Chains A and B, each alone.
Chain A
Amino acid sequence: MNSWINLTALWKIVVIGLLMGAGLPALFAVGLRALVPRGGTADPAQAGAEAGTGATTSPALLGKLIAALCFAAILAAMAWGIYSIVHNS
């Protein structure tokens, strides 16, 4: 069976694929969400849920920091992707 299919490679592709292919978009969504000013959510139901965490302080700076970290991580992952293309040649 192993000469037909490289199982090690397969599970690596699945796991790393999930981490990058699904994880990075999720991280992107986290970054976007962090950019939302507290209490300023469009969806009233969501706004209620968020408000409990301290809507009055409006930590825009913290949000921006989190967002910046998320986006930086994504850019780094993309750079790694390009590096892996070049490196594998």
Chain B
Amino acid sequence: MNSSRTPHRRLRERFRRPDAVTQPVVTGNSVLLALVVATALGFDFTNGFHDTGNAMATSIATGALPPRVAVAISSVLNLVGAFLSFSVAATIASGLVQTHLVTLTMVFAGLAGGILWNLATWYLGLPSSSSHALIGGVIGAGLASAGGHAVQWHGVTSKVILPAVLSPVIAGVVAAVGTFLVYRISRGVPEELRGRGFRLGQIGSASMVSLAHGTNDAQKTMGIITLALIANGSIGAHAKAPVWVIVSCAMAISLGTYVGGWRVIRTLGKGLVEIESPQGMTAEAASASVILLSSSFGYSLSTTHVATGSILGSGVGKKGAEVRWSVAGRMAVAWVLTLPAAGLVGALAYATAHGIGGTAGTSTIFVVLAACATGFYLASRRTAVTASNVNSQWSGSIAPTPVPAGAAL
């Protein structure tokens, strides 16, 4: 664990590692690189199902789309979105940690932090930001490996923390104003036309959010894999993401989205506000425009923060709507904890991997990570939220009210 004596330690590791001699020098450690890429794609997958709700929760809650259809549409649009824009990848890779200090183990540990936090919040049904989890993990690993100077604090504050505070507020205000206007204007419209019209509109605005999500979030993983490739010396320091990275990240996030994070969808769609289709349409329109505008200014926002802010806003903007601030409060706590918690896991993972050393260390963390993921999955089965019960009455927790005895599914 005494990783501060780096030069000697690294040298010793190099000699201990059997593959150090046999491998071509230029490509570095390809086993390690493969583990990092696999873990990054795993993170991308969790990113997908954690965030399905950002775009589709409201459409599912109002019945505008059947749950399965909603996740399928979102999945396809995420895939398309991932191919549309590559500007964010650059900022993630270069603005937050000192690129020249980045090692593969560090990237790997950061990913481990991100994945574990994503899984924990998904289990609790809390829509926390996947991007913050990832950034937190990488920062934590960076601190553990090289100390405070490895982190570009200015970049972290101006690119991550401030937008995270501002974006839900802006999205909330936009959604509240929109909801107020929409209800006011559509007052005279007969219920049938109103319901049908807004549900259609909702599908449109939710689709835009999915597309925006693909352009934003798939890139974060592209950025991380690119960072790993740079750290490994496989590509130059300012190189763009190779095509295979773009394709595999797009596939991973799209698959994740299709699996559907029903627990998070339920909290967003049923837990915060009882959503009607006009609110849903406005919330998604607000999310889409705030995300698209910000990314056109180079800010990589968390879609989760924006979507949650919008949904809250749509509750505030409608007279007499019930907003469950206690649920919102729990989310806010999770948001504040995301960076430090993922950072702590990232740091621990780094210390462990580095302490054991080399491929063995990384493999150990990889196995632990897989075991944790399996554990979360098994635990989630006990209070399973699926496409069939995602919309059942909100009873204070993510777990839908247990089916009465005898009426088992």
Contacts and interface: CB of A to CB of B under 8 A. Distances in A.
Interface stretch (B34-42, B229-237, B280-288): B280-288
Nearest to A77: B289
B157 A43 contact: no
The secondary structure that dominates the A interface is helix
Interface stretch (B53-61, B183-191, B327-335): B183-191
A40 to B, nearest CB: 7
B182 interface: yes
B84 A85 contact: yes
Contacts of A72: none
A41 to B, nearest CB: 5
B376 interface: no
Contacts of B177: 18, 22
A18 B181 CA distance: 11
B211 A17 contact: no
B178 interface: yes
Contacts of B187: 43, 46
A17 B289 contact: yes
A23 B285 CA distance: 9
A43 B183 CA distance: 14
Contacts of A33: 185-186, 188-189
Interface in B285-319: 285-290, 292-297, 299
Nearest to A15: B293
Contacts of B215: 85
A37 B141 CA distance: 63
B178 A84 contact: no
A17 B293 contact: yes
Contacts of A26: 178, 181-182, 185
A49 B86 contact: no
B87 interface: yes
A29 B278 contact: yes
Contact of B282 (A13, A25, A30): A25
A16 B293 contact: yes
A47 to B, nearest CB: 7
Nearest to B161: A4
B181 A13 contact: no
A21 interface: yes
Interface stretch (B5-13, B192-200, B249-257): B192-200
Contacts of B194: 32
Nearest to A47: B188
Contacts of A16: 289, 293
A4 B376 CA distance: 38
A9 B294 CA distance: 8
Interface of B: 81, 84-87, 154, 157-158, 162, 166, 170-171, 173-175, 177-179, 181-182, 185-191, 193-194, 197-198, 201, 204-205, 208, 211-212, 215, 278, 281-282, 285-290, 292-297, 299
8 contacts: A4-B158, A6-B297, A12-B293, A22-B181, A25-B281, A42-B189, A43-B190, A85-B85
